[in-house]
Amino acid sequence: MNSVPNFEAEDTNIEISGGAPARALRILDLISAHGRAMTLAEITDTLSLPKGTVHRLCSLLVSMGYLARDVDDRSYAIGKAMRRMALNTLKHRSVQSLRHHILTELVKQVSETCNFNALDGTQVVYLDRVEAQWPLRLIFDVGSHVPLHCTASGKLLLAHMRADESSRILPYLRMDARTPSTITCLMDLERECRDIREKGYSTDHEEFIAGMVAVAVPVRDSRGDVAAAVAMHAPTARMSLDEAIELLPYLNKAARDMQGVL
């Protein structure tokens, strides 16, 4: 994880005594909570700060990677360094052990491998995972990335994105065919996302890996926004998709428990 930003007055012409670090954190908090890129005017008006101060702070945060220019170059979005900090926070040992315990109990109930996943750019990252004790199993290490368009967690997180965010991401997704069942048409994926929002869960019916099914449910934060996913997968030799769906109450209970340790 990166160290705390060092706001040096000689490098940025920002008076530290005037609360520049606190203002910078307010800007990061605002943009991350807003869920989309914000213009300089929007940030200035919302925080009631001088336009010049906001511009200098945003420029500094862009140079450090905590903010990034959006596609129109007039707006600011969360940058790679900020996303990395958020993921590292989710993986922090003090809460990781609590999440791992929840996953362990879930695996005991469903007898299959379960994961705790989050969005990382245009992919899904495995933040935690508990393997079922079967000789036939698929192994993905914590930190592994998988696609959005053909995994249960990926489609779930995509379905619950803000409309303006998903509209920017969808046209640039590489919808490669991983199996004959993979969704490769954008319209079909959008239709699938609407179904996921209505059902409250997502499935992967041999779309990512032939011979594997998966289900995923949302983990919501204190504001009710979907922040992560709890998922279970199993080989079709051991479990059908219908049988996996029957286990959703256990996954939903685990997801509610996860909310307290985000």
The string of pLDDT tens digits covering residues 112-163 is 999 999 888 788 988 888 988 877 666 677 778 899 999 999 999 999 988 8
Four-residue CA torsion sign, 172, 176, 182, 186: positive
Distance CA 154, CA 193 (A): 10
Provide the 3-class DSSP secondary structure of residue 232.
Answer: strand
Coil/strand/helix, residue 235: strand
Out of 102-116, 156-170, 193-207, pick the least confident. 156-170
The model's pTM: 0.67
CB 220 within 8 A of CB 254: no
Q: Report the mean per-residue pLDDT for the chain.
A: 84
pLDDT tens digits for 37-73? 888 999 999 999 999 899 999 999 998 888 888 766 6
Distant-in-sequence, close-in-space partners of 69: CB < 8 Å, separation ≥ 6 = 62, 75, 76, 77
Encoded tokens for 192:
């699938």
Structure-block tokens of residue 62: 């862009």
Q: CB neighbours of 68 closer than 8 A, spacing ≥ 6?
A: 62, 76, 77, 78, 79, 80
Sheet holding 202-205, edge to edge: 145-147, 123-130, 113-120, 226-235, 212-220, 202-205
The type of residue at 257 is: D
pLDDT of residue 114: 96
Q: Any idea what the Cα angle at residue 25 is, between residues 23 and 30, rounded to 5°? A: 95
